[in-house]
Amino acid sequence: MSDLSNNVVDSIGFAAELICKSKHTVILTGAGISTPSGIPDFRSEGTGLWSYDEPLEVASLSTFRYHPERFFEWMRPLVIRIINAQPNPAHIAIARMEQAGYVKAVITQNIDNLHQKAGSSNVYETHGSLASLTCTQCFQRTSSDPFIRPLIENGQIPYCQKCGSILKPNVILFGEQMPYDAWQAAQLTARSCDLMLVAGSSLEVLPVASLPMQALDRGAHLVIVNQTPTYLGVRADVLILEDVARVIPAIAECVLNG
């Protein structure tokens, strides 16, 4: 922590104090928590992985429907990155605070499974995850495991073993609604907390960006740790504009070691 400014060190202490006093802390994470693990934020332009194509267009439901081969070819490097990615100190710090009873749940916009890899168990994935696929025809849900290797090694598109139709990864694409159940669960979690810690989300993507507001409306405290400002900075009890992979572990250190 030595090279963090005095202001940031004070804010880390205050955030830790709020977590220790809280009875129900919920953490909301976004792309910023996974970039230190080598997973680019595919909404920000110019980050190597996406620069050769238009992510907004290709990651859409219509590309999946009408040009599935193009969709999976686009998805292949992302899947390779995600399969090989390891949780960073921020993911690990969050898992440790959950295991110690200070954090009740994590709501994440990420599809990379890194919270679970780090050891978090109560994780709500609002944008889905790559861990499973659903058949577009018979709606059979299946694990991604048998399909990952053939896709990343040979570009093989996954087909349903029951009816032969194409399988869609259970991630939310552009132009697609969030599943009702996932959204209800995320809202319920946000509304039940007395402290929400936003980590690595610029709060730009609706409807997830509205969750901290729902928590605030019910009297919860708000801590935001993000590299760049967000629309709710003015409402935060603690605002830390810094790298989450440095700040979250420092907060956890204070929480766990007093």
Positions marked active-site: 127
The torsion angles phi and psi of 118, rounded to 5 degrees, stand at -80, -15
Q: DSSP state, 124?
A: E
Which positions touch Zn ion (CB under 5 A)?
135, 137-138, 140, 160, 162-163, 165
221, β-bridge pairs: 195
3-state DSSP helix/strand/coil % of the chain, to nearest 5: 45, 15, 35
Nearer to Zn ion, 20 or 138 (CB): 138
Beta carbon of residue 163, minimum distance to Zn ion (angstroms, whole number)? 3
Helix (H, G, I), strand (E, B) or coil at 180: helix
Can you read off the two tokens belonging to residue 25? 């802390």
Q: Exposed/middle/buried for 80, CB within 10 Å: 0-12, 13-18, 19+?
A: middle
Beta carbon of residue 133, minimum distance to Zn ion (angstroms, whole number)? 10
Name the amino acid, one letter, at 211.
L
Beta carbon of residue 167, minimum distance to Zn ion (angstroms, whole number)? 8
Nearer to Zn ion, 160 or 199 (CB): 160
Helix (H, G, I), strand (E, B) or coil at 171: strand
Beta carbon of residue 164, minimum distance to Zn ion (angstroms, whole number)? 7
Can you read off the two tokens belonging to residue 137? 């025809």
Nearer to Zn ion, 100 or 163 (CB): 163
Nearer to Zn ion, 51 or 161 (CB): 161
Report the 10 Å Cβ neighbour count for 21: 11
